[in-house]
């Protein structure tokens, strides 16, 4: 299970998810800032496909990793390209947690 968790962390790094996404309102305006070296969806797609090729678990010895790889490959090839548009739009984060936090914060303060 620890190796499966490590692979999930590598996948998150490949997708360039923020390390710590907290619901604090201090950094709410950061979602509009673009990264110093913007990534493209093509770059992320290439990295992810390379990572999937490196991930070769042995089914009998590592059933959790094998199940993870099988499910991840299925989801990636089915939905992967549709999930990468955020890398081509400046200021749009790779996940929506900070945007949801911003809307939640505004909703609470408007009441």
Q: What is the pLDDT of residue 36?
A: 57
DSSP 14-47: HTT--S-----STTGGGGGSPPSS---HHHHHHH
C-alpha neighbours within 13 Å on the C-beta side of residue 47: 14
pLDDT tens, residue by residue, 22-79: 444 444 445 555 445 678 889 999 999 999 898 888 888 888 888 888 998 999 999 8
Of 19, 1, 7, nearest in space to 53 by CA? 7
Choice between 111 and 47, residue whose per-residue pLDDT is larger: 47
8 A C-beta contact, residue 95 and residue 18: yes
State the pLDDT at residue 11: 86
The pLDDT assigned to 29 comes to 46
Please check the confidence at residue 14 and state whether its pLDDT lies above 80.
yes
């Amino acid at each position: 299970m620890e190796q499966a968790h490590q692979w999930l962390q590598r996948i998150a790094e490949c997708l360039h998810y923020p390390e710590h996404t907290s619901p604090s309102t201090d950094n709410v305006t950061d979602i509009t800032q673009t990264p110093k070296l913007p990534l493209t969806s093509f770059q992320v797609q290439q990295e992810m496909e390379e990572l999937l090729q490196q991930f070769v678990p042995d089914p009998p010895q590592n059933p959790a990793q094998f199940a993870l790889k099988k499910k991840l490959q299925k989801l990636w090839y089915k939905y992967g390209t549709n999930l990468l548009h955020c890398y081509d739009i400046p200021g749009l984060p790779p996940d929506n947690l900070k945007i949801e936090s911003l809307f939640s914060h505004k909703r609470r303060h408007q009441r």
